[in-house]
Amino acid sequence: MNICVICYDFEEKNFRNQPWRYIWEIIQYFLKKDYKVTVISNKINYDLDNLELHRVNRLHNIFGPSKELSKKLLEIDPDYIITLENFVSLVKNPIYINKPIIGIFSNPIYSLKEIFNVGINEFYRHPEILYNHLISALIPRFLVKNRIKNKSCLIAMSKDTRDKLENLKLNINIHFIPPGISDFDLEIPDSKKIKNIRQEICPEKIPLIIYFTSPLTLRGTDILLKSFEKFREKIPAKLVFLSRIDNNNVILDQIRLKNSVKKSHLEGSVKFISQNLSPEDIKIYISSSDIICIPFKLVISDVPISILEAMAMGKPVISTNIACIPGLLKGKGITIDQCNPGQLSSILENYAKNPEFFLSLGKSARIFMETYPKWDDIGYMFEELFKEIEI
């Protein structure tokens, strides 16, 4: 079987983030099955012996696929083509090739209200991210319906996105194939290591709240800090940011957060850990916490792997009532309204009053994740999908 994956920015530094994590995991599955896999991307910073890589200057232009991409596809002559899609890409001219094309719909679907709720400051800080979602929200859905006909099917990574796509009646098969987890994600770290980290970052016997991954304010880091400041006025607690620094914009956001900490005189209660932690170290920190709090303003790409990782460690997660998150956390975590620091502060106070309830949520999350699909299960779902599609 010859599979071609069209993926922008195919660089190793992105493989821990969505949607690249999803793409990379299914590629690894295909390679284990000895399928021929070719990746076409505008950026390539990775090398693997049995993975064929082709770089093009541009994957798409304003109208549709670039001539360079179309030429490469004819040269490769794949049996199946997998692409990343959103509403912007779906209304462009399609790829004209007589091959099955499977589109992975990578973005959550937002209303204009949800996008503007993030606040004007975010449009100044992160215009590229927000304008992409804004344009997607503004695109007339009948245009999508007319342009989508060359796709064999669409993949939704969350039930929320699947349901919203189905409600559009696009006359195309829509399949729900979620991101998976690995056996590693379920392995609980050594208890001594957890105890040592807890002693290091929070020697006081007070609630420990942890946020991890990028400190991007679109992920609600500033909302969390405001909530914690109010919570901290009533109850002693510690907040730790495990900050993954991906780019200059993220550095600027972390500087803003640190300045806010100084203005609020919270230096003794808020800690930033910015070194590049290994996945094992991240699990140890997560396991040392009482609560994981990631109050997204927007989920940039379906589905937040960070929430799955925290649930796998049996930790209660507080996040936001947007996109796929309510479905993920129902009965296993808590969601707040978008950009609502007061509500988040109240929930943190509830933890201090009733920690047993939050512990029960964490246990429910762990039980759920123990039967959650592994990445090999996700790869198998794609194999079964290939069988349904005629070449």
pLDDT tens digit string along 31-77?
999 999 999 999 988 777 789 999 999 998 888 899 999 999 999 99
Fold for domain 183-370?
Rossmann fold (3.40.50)
Rg (CA), the chain: 22
Q: Which pair of tokens denotes residue 6?
A: 């069209």
pLDDT at 373 over 90: yes
Q: Is 50:30 a contact under the CB 8 Å cutoff? A: no
Rounded to 10 degrees, the C-alpha dihedral 220/189/195/290 comes to 30
- Cβ-proximal residues to 38 (8 Å cutoff; 6+ apart), any chain: 2, 3, 4, 5, 51, 52, 53, 54, 76, 78
pLDDT tens digit string along 137-176?
999 988 888 778 778 999 999 999 999 999 999 989 999 9
- Cβ-proximal residues to 210 (8 Å cutoff; 6+ apart), any chain: 239, 240, 241, 242, 285, 286, 288, 289, 291, 292, 293
pLDDT tens digit string along 325-351?
999 999 999 999 999 999 999 999 999
Q: Which pair of tokens denotes residue 339?
A: 């950009």
Q: Is 136:115 a contact under the CB 8 Å cutoff? A: no
The C-alpha atoms of residue 357 and residue 346 are separated, in whole angstroms, by 15
What is the predicted pLDDT for the residue at 61?
86
Peptide bond just before 303 cis, omega within 30 deg: yes
Q: Pick 2-180+373-388's CATH classification: 3.60.130.10, 3.40.605.10, 3.40.50.2000, 3.20.130.10.
A: 3.40.50.2000
Q: Is 181:375 a contact under the CB 8 Å cutoff? A: yes
pLDDT tens digit string along 260-298?
999 999 999 999 998 788 999 999 999 999 999 999 999
Q: How many alpha carbons fall within 13 Å on the CB side of residue 25? A: 24
In which residue ranges of the chain is CATH 3.40.50.2000 found? Answer: 2-180+373-388, 183-370
Q: Which DSSP string do the residues of 250-287 spell out, in sequence order?
A: HHHHHHHHHHHHHHTT-TTTEEEE-S---HHHHHHHHH
Q: How many residues does the chain have?
A: 391
The C-alpha atoms of residue 26 and residue 226 are separated, in whole angstroms, by 39
Is residue 234 helix, strand or coil? helix
Q: Which pair of tokens denotes residue 316?
A: 């209660």
Q: Is 287:315 a contact under the CB 8 Å cutoff? A: yes
Going by DSSP bridges, is the β-strand pair 238-243/10-11 parallel, antiparallel, or unpaired?
unpaired
Q: Is 54:72 a contact under the CB 8 Å cutoff? A: yes
Read off the amino acid at residue 56. V
Q: How confident is the model over 189-215, as a mean pLDDT?
A: 96
What's this model's pTM, rounded to 2 decimal places?
0.94
What is the predicted pLDDT for the residue at 391?
55
Number of CB atoms found within 10 A of residue 171's CB: 9
